[in-house]
Structure 1
Amino acid sequence: MGCFSIKCGLLAGSVFGAVIAILGGILIPVGDMIIERTVKKEAVIEPGTTAYDNWASSEIAVYRQFWLFDVKNPQQVVQEGAFPEVQEKGPYTYKTRYLPKANVTFNPNNTASFVLPMGAIFEPSMSVGPEEDTVTTLNLAVAGIHIFPSQWVVSYDMVINSTNSSLFQHRTVKELLWGYNDPILKDTIGLFSPYNGTSDGPYNIFTGKDDISKVSIIDRWRGETKLSFWNDTYCDMINGTDGSSFAPFVDKDVPLYFFSSDICRSVSASYEATMNLKGIEVYRYSLLPSTLASPVDNPDNKCFCRNYETTKNCTLAGALDISSCSDGRPVFISLPHFLQGSEYLREVVLGLHPDEEHHKTFLDVEPITGFTLNFAKRIQANMMYGPAKDITVLNKVKDYTLLPLAWLNETATLDDKTADMFKRELISRIDMLEIVQQVLLIAGVIIFFVCLIAFFCVRRKSKTNLG
């Protein structure tokens, strides 16, 4: 005989609720597995995937803002050996990395090769003035005399005097950044010369097709698996990606490693905070002070110290000597205004005001995909000058001085169109799956307990009536 009583209906409702709750519970690991499989598939760098579309695209604008340091007291520095006093001028903004990757080749060993074409277009609307603005800055051809052999010094002093040159010079923004014809060297020199028409690489990166944990990791740069700048196994390591993306499912307890050709070395960034970027949750990673710490505080940095005399026996923090990868020129890289650097660096150059918020380097990484959706790379170019008793314009200089020339802020962020697409294609789908999971689980539990409680209430009432 069939069961059509209220008790049977409530019991069936309890069973139905339990089934729904179990289904919701099963969907949690199943749904997570589906999400993981889909993300890993789309994170592989090969035609047809989301990762490839982002990797190959040049639609997201990358800008470089430059602030140049104008020396206010050049005469006192040369004639009296005074500390230089500087004032920054900027920003002068250029659109860079607007050219797509070139010579893209997919290799049988699951790597992809390419080069990054370099170019810069001045953006007047995003700048404080034209490229023709002038600054008083270090004479690049004179500042490096202290590294010359002693037998060259006297003849070099004659050249300096014959060309009416000094330790400082007046140059336009365009000249200092991109190059000018130097009267002493009879060659074109500049902080980033040559730039337009050149390229970075070639790079060889893993596509992640055989192992998604290796996706975007650099296999080779300029055909080599390691650098040749530091003469040390540790410092010459090429670690991580180029910073534009990382393996999916980022663990914020694990540092991210990336290589920057601008500073000729690999660095790591650590989790700082969880941020909201246009409705998308991202992890912010920033460089630790140990990155540019002196070998006294971070022994791992000992192999980055090149000159014991100019770096106070390698006790100075906050500056990286990259002369070995800049044709021997005494160029040092630091964070802007010597942020996280030794106090001494700011004591011998007046007018510097480091600010953590405006001068630190950071990456905002979406943790599910590993894509970098926003970043600010902030570095400062400095040049060392020092005493030289046989050089007229340097014989009053008292000590080696690291003088800031310019600092840059290279940025790119997710535009609204891409953010909406990202949320629609990934975040909304994950959210919808999680909502379905939660609704089934909660609804099933509620139905189960409501029907079960009602069943016992009806059963108890029936017993009472029979009694």
Structure 2
Amino acid sequence: MNDNFHAESPALALSLSPDSKSYEIWKDTKTMSTNLDVYFFNWTNPEDLMDPEKKIHLVQLGPYSFIERREKVNITFHPENSTVSYLQRRTWFFDESKSNGTLQDKIVQLNVVAVSAAYKIRYWPFMIQQSLSYVLNQFSNKIYIVKTVDELLFTGFEDKIITMGKMSGMDEDSPPFDRFGWFYMRNGSTEFDGHSNVATGVDDLSNIGKLKLWNYKDTTKYYKSPCNTIEGSSGEFWPPYRTKEDIRLFTTDICRPVTYEFVDKVSHKGIEGYKFSMGKTTLGNDSRRRYPHEQAKYFEPTTTTEDFFVIDPTTLKPEVENDDPDVVNEGRCYCNGECSPMGLINITACRYGAPGFVSLPHFHKGDPVLRERFTGLDPKAEDHSFDIVLEPTTGIPINVAARLQVNILLQSSKTVSLFKNVPTIYFPIFWFNMKVEIPNELVGNLQLLLNLPTITMYTGLVLMLIGSLILFSVVVIYYVNNRRRLCQNKSNKTDSLQKKTEMVYMDKVNANEDGQTRNDRRLYPKL
């Protein structure tokens, strides 16, 4: 966007193309200041886990701040269907000036690798579970680990369970990593966000930013139909002329679309916007949604229309079970067979079978039962909400606060001795906060674009007024000139009449000096 931004039509200004003003920022965010702030929960009393009388004490550490840069690579525009395909590279650089701590800070955390292994094989043969129990007793025998921030995030750390799992080759869905770290191998990689195909809006602005294909498909393998559909915005563009209806964003990290509900009208940097927030529709287990029949055309050919509408009767309200078969309990659709309390998103299927659950930070908007076993959690709406503010006329995001927390389900095992009799809890690991807002240099351009209709209207009114004044002036001038001509003509006629009268009078009435009338006045020249 630049000073010529206002001169373009809305379609050219808002759609995505190599010539559009938004293309360079979309392609590479290096000119934008975007920080990812990570907060870890330090577990200070792991020895008290088995004591039901004592709570788990967590201390929040951080933020550990990173400058995030996003680059689109292998960009290919498809004019035939008005879409663009790309891979995305995300790179993080530690920002010491904005961090409260260093990457060498040591943190006590739940042993996520061991917990995940026990969870994943909980239905496997008894002998395999016994083998895992033996390995844990030999090499770990602790339900917690102590690692640095760097190890937990990017560098990763070795673990015997990972090594043995890769050597056995028994699980085809095992992570392709030789170490464990939440962002291990992701820094600078283009593989993790997948291949995206997004609508550019060139043909129809109502489609701009919609994710059409992810990894070359319009469905995912992680959920059953119809909840396996690829839908929603890719997160960078939204259609213009927003209403207060819910918006949907497809998040590749959790392999599913997420719904955001309208909250309020707000103002950011002098621009009015609609605020949408993650709420009950996404975090609950009872969010019902109507899927129209025509939506079946977006599914894979192997998914028939009949299969699409095969719905578990238990997911429908009694009054709509027979009357409205298109209504699906979407909350249960994403449960992965086992629904969790309000406030959690089950991402187990998307994360190699590990018991991962995403929530808002500090279990904000979650069931209070999630916080019962912990101290150190204090949810606040202003600090722990996931909000998106869109300018409604253009659909441009003017302020985004993306906040999510990663939790691991800890539960007892009858076979793996390390986890016998442990409480069943969703254990907070860390949460992140990424804030992105419209750059100051673009605020003026956006305000000008929004004011164009008003400016045009007032300009038209002024031009109409000036035109009316000119027309009135022309009429007045014409009237005055015409009046003047009439008066002059009348004056000329009067003068002529007077002259004729005087001539007649002189001809007929003129007398001699002696008072007698003269009758010898020549009327014609003498020959």
Q: TM-score, length-normalised on structure 1?
A: 0.80
Matched, 1:401 2:425: yes
Match of 1:356 among 378, 381, 396: 381
Match of 1:192 among 183, 206, 223: 183
Shift of 1:330: 0.9
Matched, 1:225 2:218: yes
Q: Match for residue 177 of structure 1?
A: 153
Matched, 1:286 2:277: yes
Secondary structure of 1:128's match? Answer: coil
Shift of 1:162: 2.0
Contact 1:349 1:403 survives alignment (8 Å): no
Q: Match for residue 367 of structure 1?
A: 392
Q: Match for residue 238 of structure 2?
A: 246
Secondary structure of 1:294's match? Answer: coil
Q: How many correspondences in the alignment?
A: 405
Match of 2:67 among 89, 92, 95: 95
Contact 2:262 2:275 survives alignment (8 Å): yes
Shift of 1:201: 2.2
Change in Cα spacing, 1:446 to 1:83, as seen in structure 2 (3 Å) is farther
Alignment of structure 1 residues 124-273 onto 2, 5 Å: 124-144=96-116, 145-148=118-121, 149=124, 150-178=126-154, 179-186=156-163, 187-199=178-190, 200-230=193-223, 232-250=224-242, 252-273=243-264
Shift of 1:349: 3.0
Q: Where does the alignment leave 5 or more consecutive residues of structure 1 unmatched?
A: 1-34, 309-313, 449-467
Distance 2:286 2:264 in 1: 28
Contact 1:79 1:396 survives alignment (8 Å): no
Distance 1:406 1:373 in 2: 27
Shift of 1:447: 12
Contact 2:137 2:418 survives alignment (8 Å): no
Counterpart of 1:416, as a letter, is: N
Contact 1:242 1:258 survives alignment (8 Å): yes
Greater relative contact order, per chain length (Cα 8 Å cut-off, separation 6+): 1
Contact 1:71 1:136 survives alignment (8 Å): yes
Summarize deviations over 1:162-214 as a string: whole Å, max 9, x none: 22441111111121122222243233012233311322121101112222211
Secondary structure of 1:65's match? Answer: strand
Distance 1:39 1:330 in 2: 46
Summarize deviations over 1:363-397 as a string: whole Å, max 9, x none: 12122221112201111101111112443432231
Shift of 1:268: 2.2
Match of 1:46 among 7, 11, 17: 17
Q: Match for residue 407 of structure 2?
A: 382
Higher alpha-carbon Rg: 2
Secondary structure of 2:374's match? Answer: coil
Contact 2:288 2:330 survives alignment (8 Å): no
Matched, 1:414 2:390: no
Distance 2:464 2:340 in 1: 61
Contact 2:285 2:330 survives alignment (8 Å): no
Change in Cα spacing, 1:83 to 1:36, as seen in structure 2 (3 Å) is farther
Q: TM-score, length-normalised on structure 2?
A: 0.71
Change in Cα spacing, 1:403 to 1:446, as seen in structure 2 (3 Å) is farther
Secondary structure of 2:444's match? Answer: helix
Match of 1:123 among 92, 95, 98: 95
RMSD (CA atoms): 2.7
Distance 2:381 2:162 in 1: 38
Change in Cα spacing, 1:442 to 1:243, as seen in structure 2 (3 Å) is farther
Contact 2:65 2:95 survives alignment (8 Å): yes
Q: Match for residue 326 of structure 1?
A: 351
Shift of 1:88: 1.2
Distance 1:194 1:53 in 2: 26
Shift of 1:402: 0.8
Summarize deviations over 1:14-35 as a string: whole Å, max 9, x none: xxxxxxxxxxxxxxxxxxxxx9
Identity %: 27
Distance 1:272 1:438 in 2: 37
Q: Match for residue 463 of structure 1?
A: none
